[in-house]
Amino acid sequence: MSDSQHPVWVLNGPNLNRLGTREPDIYGDRDYDSVVEEIEREASALGFTAVVRQTNDEAELIAWLHDAADQSVPVIMNPAAFTHYSYAVRDACALLTAPLIEVHLSNPLAREEFRHTSVVGGVANGTISGFGLDSYRLALRALAGLQSSP
Ligand code: DQA
Protein backbone atom coordinates (compact mmCIF):
# COMPACT_ATOMS: atom_id res chain seq x y z
CA MET A 1 0.00 0.00 0.00
CA SER A 2 1.44 3.38 -0.92
CA ASP A 3 1.26 6.24 1.58
CA SER A 4 -1.52 7.86 -0.40
CA GLN A 5 -3.81 4.80 -0.31
CA HIS A 6 -6.51 4.43 2.32
CA PRO A 7 -7.88 1.18 3.67
CA VAL A 8 -11.51 0.15 3.27
CA TRP A 9 -13.15 -3.11 4.23
CA VAL A 10 -15.92 -4.39 1.99
CA LEU A 11 -17.91 -6.91 4.01
CA ASN A 12 -20.50 -9.20 2.47
CA GLY A 13 -23.10 -11.29 4.25
CA PRO A 14 -24.78 -14.62 3.66
CA ASN A 15 -25.29 -16.24 0.27
CA LEU A 16 -23.34 -13.59 -1.63
CA ASN A 17 -20.61 -16.18 -2.23
CA ARG A 18 -23.22 -17.80 -4.52
CA LEU A 19 -23.35 -14.86 -6.92
CA GLY A 20 -23.31 -16.07 -10.49
CA THR A 21 -25.69 -18.94 -9.86
CA ARG A 22 -27.91 -17.35 -7.19
CA GLU A 23 -31.11 -15.91 -8.75
CA PRO A 24 -29.23 -14.35 -11.70
CA ASP A 25 -32.36 -12.52 -12.82
CA ILE A 26 -32.09 -10.50 -9.59
CA TYR A 27 -28.37 -10.47 -8.80
CA GLY A 28 -26.82 -10.79 -12.27
CA ASP A 29 -24.58 -13.50 -13.63
CA ARG A 30 -21.16 -12.30 -12.44
CA ASP A 31 -19.67 -14.69 -9.95
CA TYR A 32 -18.46 -13.60 -6.51
CA ASP A 33 -14.75 -13.76 -7.42
CA SER A 34 -15.20 -11.45 -10.37
CA VAL A 35 -17.20 -9.02 -8.20
CA VAL A 36 -14.32 -9.00 -5.70
CA GLU A 37 -11.81 -8.32 -8.48
CA GLU A 38 -13.89 -5.44 -9.79
CA ILE A 39 -14.28 -3.90 -6.31
CA GLU A 40 -10.52 -4.17 -5.74
CA ARG A 41 -9.81 -2.58 -9.12
CA GLU A 42 -12.23 0.32 -8.61
CA ALA A 43 -11.01 0.85 -5.04
CA SER A 44 -7.42 1.05 -6.20
CA ALA A 45 -8.32 3.58 -8.92
CA LEU A 46 -9.90 5.77 -6.21
CA GLY A 47 -6.89 5.52 -3.90
CA PHE A 48 -8.18 2.77 -1.59
CA THR A 49 -6.79 -0.59 -0.71
CA ALA A 50 -9.87 -2.78 -0.32
CA VAL A 51 -10.05 -5.89 1.80
CA VAL A 52 -13.11 -7.75 0.51
CA ARG A 53 -14.61 -10.52 2.64
CA GLN A 54 -17.73 -12.65 2.67
CA THR A 55 -19.25 -14.78 5.40
CA ASN A 56 -22.38 -16.80 5.99
CA ASP A 57 -21.81 -16.54 9.73
CA GLU A 58 -23.33 -13.69 11.75
CA ALA A 59 -20.73 -14.03 14.54
CA GLU A 60 -17.87 -13.75 12.06
CA LEU A 61 -19.37 -10.63 10.50
CA ILE A 62 -19.75 -9.07 13.95
CA ALA A 63 -16.12 -9.91 14.80
CA TRP A 64 -14.98 -8.16 11.60
CA LEU A 65 -17.06 -5.10 12.51
CA HIS A 66 -15.44 -5.03 15.97
CA ASP A 67 -12.00 -5.17 14.33
CA ALA A 68 -12.97 -2.37 11.93
CA ALA A 69 -14.13 -0.29 14.91
CA ASP A 70 -10.88 -0.90 16.79
CA GLN A 71 -8.78 0.00 13.74
CA SER A 72 -11.01 2.93 12.64
CA VAL A 73 -11.31 1.45 9.16
CA PRO A 74 -14.27 2.58 7.01
CA VAL A 75 -16.66 -0.17 5.97
CA ILE A 76 -18.79 -0.75 2.91
CA MET A 77 -21.16 -3.57 3.79
CA ASN A 78 -23.74 -5.64 2.01
CA PRO A 79 -25.33 -7.33 5.03
CA ALA A 80 -27.53 -9.44 2.71
CA ALA A 81 -30.43 -10.99 4.64
CA PHE A 82 -28.96 -9.82 7.98
CA THR A 83 -30.02 -6.35 6.83
CA HIS A 84 -33.61 -7.11 7.59
CA TYR A 85 -33.48 -8.64 11.04
CA SER A 86 -30.05 -8.72 12.72
CA TYR A 87 -30.06 -6.31 15.63
CA ALA A 88 -26.71 -7.83 16.59
CA VAL A 89 -25.15 -6.73 13.29
CA ARG A 90 -26.83 -3.34 13.66
CA ASP A 91 -25.42 -2.89 17.17
CA ALA A 92 -21.93 -3.85 15.95
CA CYS A 93 -22.26 -1.24 13.18
CA ALA A 94 -23.14 1.36 15.82
CA LEU A 95 -19.68 0.77 17.33
CA LEU A 96 -17.86 1.77 14.15
CA THR A 97 -15.51 4.71 14.40
CA ALA A 98 -15.20 5.48 10.67
CA PRO A 99 -17.89 5.77 7.96
CA LEU A 100 -20.23 2.91 7.08
CA ILE A 101 -21.98 2.67 3.72
CA GLU A 102 -24.67 0.01 3.27
CA VAL A 103 -24.96 -1.45 -0.22
CA HIS A 104 -27.31 -3.81 -2.00
CA LEU A 105 -27.10 -5.22 -5.50
CA SER A 106 -30.87 -5.29 -5.87
CA ASN A 107 -33.37 -2.68 -4.69
CA PRO A 108 -34.91 -4.28 -1.60
CA LEU A 109 -37.70 -1.68 -1.58
CA ALA A 110 -38.94 -3.02 -4.92
CA ARG A 111 -39.05 -6.60 -3.62
CA GLU A 112 -40.88 -8.60 -0.93
CA GLU A 113 -42.17 -6.66 2.05
CA PHE A 114 -39.77 -8.27 4.54
CA ARG A 115 -36.92 -6.66 2.59
CA HIS A 116 -38.35 -3.16 3.02
CA THR A 117 -36.88 -2.84 6.51
CA SER A 118 -33.16 -2.30 7.07
CA VAL A 119 -32.14 -2.43 10.70
CA VAL A 120 -28.64 -1.35 9.59
CA GLY A 121 -29.52 1.73 7.54
CA GLY A 122 -30.12 3.92 10.60
CA VAL A 123 -26.51 3.57 11.74
CA ALA A 124 -24.95 3.93 8.26
CA ASN A 125 -23.82 7.19 6.67
CA GLY A 126 -25.90 6.22 3.66
CA THR A 127 -27.29 3.37 1.61
CA ILE A 128 -26.88 2.57 -2.10
CA SER A 129 -29.21 -0.03 -3.57
CA GLY A 130 -30.38 -1.35 -6.88
CA PHE A 131 -27.43 -0.80 -9.21
CA GLY A 132 -25.83 -4.22 -9.20
CA LEU A 133 -22.04 -4.09 -9.05
CA ASP A 134 -22.30 -0.33 -9.53
CA SER A 135 -23.76 -0.11 -6.00
CA TYR A 136 -20.27 -1.01 -4.71
CA ARG A 137 -18.56 1.36 -7.16
CA LEU A 138 -20.87 4.20 -6.11
CA ALA A 139 -20.24 3.39 -2.45
CA LEU A 140 -16.49 3.68 -3.00
CA ARG A 141 -17.03 7.06 -4.65
CA ALA A 142 -19.28 8.18 -1.80
CA LEU A 143 -16.61 7.13 0.70
CA ALA A 144 -13.94 9.03 -1.23
CA GLY A 145 -16.19 12.09 -1.06
CA LEU A 146 -16.77 11.68 2.68
CA GLN A 147 -13.07 11.36 3.34
CA SER A 148 -12.12 14.38 1.24
CA SER A 149 -14.76 16.66 2.77
CA PRO A 150 -13.47 18.99 5.51
C1 DQA B 1 -29.23 -8.11 -0.96
C2 DQA B 1 -30.71 -7.93 -0.72
C3 DQA B 1 -31.18 -8.75 0.47
O4 DQA B 1 -32.58 -8.60 0.64
C5 DQA B 1 -30.88 -10.22 0.24
O6 DQA B 1 -31.24 -10.97 1.38
C7 DQA B 1 -29.49 -10.49 -0.17
C8 DQA B 1 -28.84 -9.58 -1.10
C9 DQA B 1 -28.74 -7.39 -2.23
O10 DQA B 1 -27.55 -7.21 -2.37
O11 DQA B 1 -29.57 -7.04 -3.08
O12 DQA B 1 -28.91 -11.50 0.19
O13 DQA B 1 -28.52 -7.56 0.15
Q: pLDDT averaged over the chain? A: 96
Residue 43 belongs to some domain of the structure: yes
Residue 51: pLDDT above 50?
yes
Q: pLDDT by residue (tens digit) across 63-102?
A: 999 999 999 999 999 999 999 999 999 999 999 999 999 9
Burial of 40 (0-12, 13-18, 19+ CB in 10 A): middle
Residue 98 belongs to some domain of the structure: yes
Residue 1 belongs to some domain of the structure: no
Give all strands (DSSP E) within the chain, no chain letters. Answer: 6-12, 48-54, 75-78, 100-104, 126-129
Which residue has the least CA distance to atom 1 on ligand 1? 80
Which SS3 state, helix, strand or coil, does residue 47 take?
A: coil
Counting Cα atoms < 13 Å in the Cβ hemisphere of 136 gives 24
- In ligand 1, the atom with minimum distance to the C-alpha of 103 is 10
Q: How many domains does the chain fold into? A: 1
Which residue has the least CA distance to atom 2 on ligand 1? 80
| CATH, residue 33 | 3.40.50.9100
**pLDDT value at residue 148:** 87
Residue 3: pLDDT above 80?
no
The candidate with the shortest Cα–Cα distance to 103, out of 45, 50, 25, 57, is 50
User: What range does the domain containing 87 cover?
Assistant: 6-148
Q: pLDDT by residue (tens digit) across 20-48?
A: 999 999 999 999 999 999 999 999 999 99
**pLDDT value at residue 7:** 98
